[in-house]
Amino acid sequence: MKASAPVPILALDVPTAAAARALTDSVGEALGSVKVGLELFCAAGPDLVRDFARGGLDVFLDLKLHDIPNTVAGAVRSVSALGAGLLTLHAGGGGRMLRAAREAADGTDDPPRLLGVTVLTSHDGKELGAVWGRKVASVPDEVARLTEQALEAGMDGVVCSPAEVAGLRARFGSDILLVCPGIRRAGDAAGDQRRVTTPAEAVRAGASHLVLGRTVTAAEDPAAAFREVVREMRDTTRAAGAV
């Protein structure tokens, strides 16, 4: 069975609703999915998510929920009313929290697909070990461990760096969502990210969604950069024989 082409998601990592709308307008009809993260959600709130969803965009609401199970369940129910298609929760919140989120989502009319955030792409093994208070021998092994826990708790997939995608596909199969930030065009600066790859590499590894942030938004012409990345994704998918 041939793989599906991955979905490009434009990260609206901007401080105002006006800036977000200007960015989406500049990309135009080529745009199908957008990410609303903490910066924009704190500035513009639920109304912007509703507006994007009503306008036909698939919204990836990247809130990385991490709290006690009851609080997270309430947040998931609230998000379900906004029309977002994807919602993130920290996999490190544990099985009870993730299962509470799953149960809350399943009790709504239009639930988002739930994603467990594994290891932030800004972390390398040394930083992760400092956070967790123990030596981390392998970041991919930690990502796989958190992915297994997230899937057992009913998540639809995980957020991971492109560097871990191939291993997760081999271990967990083709049905789960693997959403990848840390995408950089050849020659782009990595910024504060530690584990990055090019769009073509992420596609070949088997990512289901590519989150396009600073590689697009920091470009001189964001709309042209977005089209360039989407073209690279499409050409790589075709070369791999996907449909």
pLDDT tens profile 45-59? 999 999 999 999 999
Residue 145 within a domain: yes
Residue 27 within a domain: yes
pLDDT for 3: 54
pLDDT for 10: 96
Residue 1 within a domain: no
Low-confidence ranges of the chain (pLDDT < 70): 1-3, 125, 128, 132, 137, 186-196, 242-243
Residue 44 within a domain: yes
pLDDT in tens, 69-108: 999 999 999 999 999 999 999 999 999 999 999 999 999 9
SS (H, E, C) the chain: CCCCCCEEEEECCCCCHHHHHHHHHHHHHHCCEEEECHHHHHHHCHHHHHHHHHCCCEEEEEEEECCCHHHHHHHHHHHHCCCCCEEEEEHHHCHHHHHHHHHHHHCCCCCCEEEEECCCCCCCHHHHHHHHCCCCCCHHHHHHHHHHHHHHCCCCEEECCHHHHHHHHHHHCCCCEEEECCECCCCCCCCCCCCCECHHHHHHHCCCEEEECHHHHCCCCHHHHHHHHHHHHHHHHHHCCCC
- Domain range spanning residue 147? 7-239
Residue 201 within a domain: yes
The whole model's pTM is what? Answer: 0.90
What residues act catalytically?
Answer: 64
pLDDT for 182: 81
| Total of domains in the chain | 1
Residue 2 within a domain: no
Residue 151 within a domain: yes
Residue 78 within a domain: yes
CATH value at residue 36: 3.20.20.70
